[in-house]
Amino acid sequence: MRPAHIVFWVCVTFGGVWLQNLVPGVDFLAPGLILAMQEERWPVSVWLAFIWLFIHEGTGSMPFGAGILWYGALAGIYFFGHWLFEARNFLFMFILGASLGSMHFLLINLMALLQDWSLPMDRLLIECAQQTLIFPIEWGLLYLIHHNLPDNPHAA
Amino acid sequence: MAPGKWVNEQVSSFWTRYLYFVGIRQQNDQLRVELDAAKQELAGLREYASEVERLRQLLSLTPPVDWTRLGARIISHRLGPNAALETFLIDKGSAHGVTVNAPVVSPDGVVGRVLRISPTAATILLITDPNSRIPVVSQKNRTQGVVKGEGPTKELTLQYVPQGAPIEEGEILVTSGLEEIFPKGLPVARITTVGRSGSSLFQLINAQPLFSPRQLEEVGLLFRTTSLQPAGAAAPAPTQPVSPVVTPAPLPARSAKGLKSPAAIPPAPGQGAPLPPPPPAPAPQPAPAAAKPAEAVKKRDAAKPDAAKPEAEKKRRKPARTEGQ
């Protein structure tokens, strides 16, 4: 991998964790995973997903496995969706964000049900809406930055 | 000659002033650098003084008898999509003696309890989480209830307070210690509103937690030190964190269910009173008595009164119910 790309993904990781601290309940690393699956070779995506999975599992309060379900479902929706849509279409990203928001609601409720937890539903719905809106916007920004990296063949 | 002298004086004066200003410029630059360094040092010292003040307040928290404390730094608040509960991470884990359900306090009052642990970090469940329930008693009127979290930026609710029970706005709620997790008497919240509902048997009471979750930077963890230890055993130093000998049960019902009556606990090897002479085996059924001698010994021990056991043995088996009650 080229040095500029390494710096880019390191910045995405640190920036994502910082933003997740600012806006709890929203995954700021998921757009990066989709971008990695679109633009990078698959080992890069696997390594990034592996690292980010541990960040989510370590910082979250859910039992181990929620992060695997989260990123597994995201990758599954992406692979299923890119047969039907243009993979780099903003509309597809918006649909993916909406799916992620819905999945956040379902996954958290499922885990809460299994653990016999009670959750504030209003906060959960707000997080789902934030995830739906933030996902395509962040993906668009990351896509633009990634395409303008110095050693990117797509760079102008 | 006079014009020449005048020109000479003017030129030399100009040159002197020029050199003087150059020196001032250099000195000014140097002073600016020193001022920046001093400002940076001042900011660092102010932060240091603030930290010292916070740690001093944390140290002023006196743990109850038979409890000791351990300071910890908050390294992360609620973070990421999997952070469903109101939690934060601290920099102490099982390697430092932290155990699940250990009480977490601040100088203002109870913060929460340890939800899960790793070797170098622990997740703390705040009392503002909807899954947190703490039995409390009001400090002035001694009215009991259960404080339940309602989520972030929301007040706590005090449940199961009967309609006629005396309780006042502004009263401090302290832990009652009935759940065997928190020591008795730690401040939890301040009552803000007391209301009544026509259909409910209980009062509608809201309370404000005594700490601000987003402003916390350091917390203290409490550990039992001497409970359930054999009599005569030396208590550990109060400054060293000690793991609780027995993990406290989260619910009194489970605790009561799991406890064995003293008569049902067989004595440990080498402890307890000497066994009485075995009764003569009945003649018609020799085979079962000879086949299960261990069961016969257990039955004898179970029927034996507690007065025959040493005092130390009794203390060792006594459940930690006296703590915080």
Q: What is the pLDDT of residues B30-45, one digit of tens each?
A: 999 999 999 999 999 9
Residue B113 has pLDDT above 80, yes or no: yes
What is the pLDDT at residue A156?
Answer: 52
Cβ contact (<8 Å) for B83 and A59?
Answer: yes
Residue A65 has pLDDT above 90, yes or no: no
What are the tens digits of pLDDT across the range A110-148? Answer: 988 988 888 888 889 999 999 999 999 999 999 999 988
What is the pLDDT at residue B32?
Answer: 95
Task: Give the residue-averaged pLDDT of B186-195.
Answer: 92
Mutate to test the interface with A, among B78, B79, B148 (most CBs of A within 10 A): B79
What is the pLDDT at residue A143?
Answer: 92
What is the pLDDT at residue B216?
Answer: 86
Mutate to test the interface with B, among A19, A27, A61 (most CBs of B within 10 A): A61
C-alpha to C-alpha distance for A124 and A26, rounded to whole angstroms: 10
Residue B248 has pLDDT above 70, yes or no: no
On whether the CB atoms of residues A67 and A57 are closer than 8 A, the answer is yes
The answer to which of B77-81, B195-199, B287-291, B310-314 has the lowest mean pLDDT is B287-291
Between B220 and B299, the more confident residue is: B220
Angle A57-A62-A68 (CA atoms, 0-180°, nearest 5)? Answer: 50
Closest chain B residue by Cα to residue A120: B151
C-alpha to C-alpha distance for B278 and A58, rounded to whole angstroms: 59
On whether the CB atoms of residues B131 and B85 are closer than 8 A, the answer is yes
Mutate to test the interface with B, among A59, A70, A116, A126 (most CBs of B within 10 A): A59
Cβ contact (<8 Å) for B82 and A17?
Answer: no
Spell out which chain A residues touch chain B, with contact meaning CB-CB distance below 8 angstroms: 17, 20-21, 24-27, 30, 55-62, 66-67, 70, 104, 108, 111-112, 117-120, 122-123, 127, 131
Residue B145 has pLDDT above 70, yes or no: yes
Which residue, chain included where needed, has tokens 């200003």? B21
Cβ contact (<8 Å) for B89 and A111?
Answer: no
What is the pLDDT at residue A147?
Answer: 87
On whether the CB atoms of residues B103 and B182 are closer than 8 A, the answer is yes
What are the tens digits of pLDDT across the range B256-266? Answer: 333 333 333 33
Residue B269 has pLDDT above 70, yes or no: no
What are the tens digits of pLDDT across the range B42-89? Answer: 999 998 888 888 888 777 777 777 888 888 999 988 888 888 899 989
Residue B110 structure tokens: 């109870």
Give phi and psi for B126, each to the nearest 5: -75, 160
The answer to which of B102-111, B183-192, B209-218 has the lowest mean pLDDT is B209-218
Question: What's the sign of the alpha-carbon dihedral A32, A34, A39, A41?
Answer: positive
Report residue B1's pLDDT band, with 50, 70 and 90 as the boundaries. Answer: low
Q: Which of B82, B89, B130 sits opposite A118 (nearest CB)?
A: B130
What is the pLDDT at residue B177?
Answer: 87
* Long-range Cβ contact pairs of A35-40 (< 8 A, separation 24 or more): A35/A139, A35/A142, A35/A143, A35/A146, A36/A9, A37/A75, A37/A78, A38/A87, A38/A88, A39/A146, A40/A1, A40/A5
Closest chain A residue by Cα to residue B89: A59
On whether the CB atoms of residues B303 and B204 are closer than 8 A, the answer is no
The 10 Å Cβ neighbour count of residue B246 is: 12
CB burial readout A69-104, b (16+ within 10 A) else e? bbbeebeebbeebbeeeeeeeeebbbbbbbbbbebb
What is the pLDDT at residue B289?
Answer: 40
C-alpha to C-alpha distance for B135 and B119, rounded to whole angstroms: 30
Mean pLDDT score of chain B, rounded to an integer?
A: 74
C-alpha to C-alpha distance for B155 and B148, rounded to whole angstroms: 9
Cβ contact (<8 Å) for B151 and A27?
Answer: no
Task: Give the residue-averaged pLDDT of B202-227.
Answer: 86
- Confirm whether the ipTM is greater than 0.85: no
Report residue B322's pLDDT band, with 50, 70 and 90 as the boundaries. Answer: very low
Task: Give the residue-averaged pLDDT of B166-179.
Answer: 91
Closest chain A residue by Cα to residue B124: A61
What is the pLDDT at residue B242?
Answer: 36
Residue A155 has pLDDT above 70, yes or no: no
Q: What percent of chain B shows pLDDT beyond 90?
A: 33
Task: Give the residue-averaged pLDDT of A98-115.
Answer: 92
Task: Give the residue-averaged pLDDT of A148-152.
Answer: 77
Q: Which of B82, B116, B121 sits opposite A67 (nearest CB)?
A: B82
CA distance A113 to chain B (A): 12
pTM greater than 0.80 (yes/no):
no
DSSP structural state of residue B100: T
Spell out which chain B residues touch chain A, with contact meaning CB-CB distance below 8 angstroms: 76-85, 87, 89, 115-116, 118, 121, 123, 125, 130-131, 150-152, 154
SS3 B108: coil
